[in-house]
């Protein structure tokens, strides 16, 4: 039994790095994961390649390997546009109402 059984965690930046690590740690504690990542270039000045949708899919496979569901969404996460959260919000509402991604 995990600390987060029957809970849902919303993780931004889930495609790789710290976001992926947080998603996996929360999944190991029993949380279902709804992960969001831009999965595209956001700035030419980053100095490193952007995460991709295949990175996000890999996170989904790793979370599922921990025995948790993981509707992961590639979407911009700007707080300034409600349209940009629509895919993530839809996943959250679907999961909340059905318990399935």
Q: Which domains does the chain have, with CATH numbers?
A: 8-98 (3.40.50.720)
Residue 48's CB is within 10 A of a number of other CB atoms, namely 5
Tokens read off for 58: 């890999």
- 98 — pLDDT class (breaks 50, 70, 90): low
Three-class SS of residue 32? Answer: strand
Tokens read off for 20: 């992926």
- The answer to whether the predicted template modeling score (pTM) of the entire model surpasses 0.85 is no
Q: How far apart are CA 81 and CA 98, in angstroms?
A: 27
- Residue 92, pLDDT > 80, answer no
Which regions of 1-101 does DSSP assign to beta strands (E)?
8-12, 32-37, 72-74
What average pLDDT is seen over the chain? Answer: 79
| Percentage of residues in the chain having pLDDT higher than 70 | 70
Tokens read off for 10: 């919303």
Return all residues near 25 (Cβ < 8 A) that are at least 6 apart. Answer: none
């Amino acid at each position: 039994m995990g600390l987060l059984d029957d809970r849902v965690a919303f993780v931004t930046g889930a495609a790789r790095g710290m976001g992926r690590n947080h998603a996996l740690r929360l999944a190991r504690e029993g949380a279902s994961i709804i992960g969001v990542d831009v999965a595209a270039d956001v700035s030419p000045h980053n100095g490193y390649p952007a995460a991709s949708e295949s990175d996000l899919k890999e996170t989904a496979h790793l979370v599922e390997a921990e025995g948790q569901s993981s509707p992961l969404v590639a979407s911009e996460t700007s707080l300034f546009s409600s349209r940009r959260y629509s895919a993530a919000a839809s996943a959250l509402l679907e999961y909340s109402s059905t318990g399935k991604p």
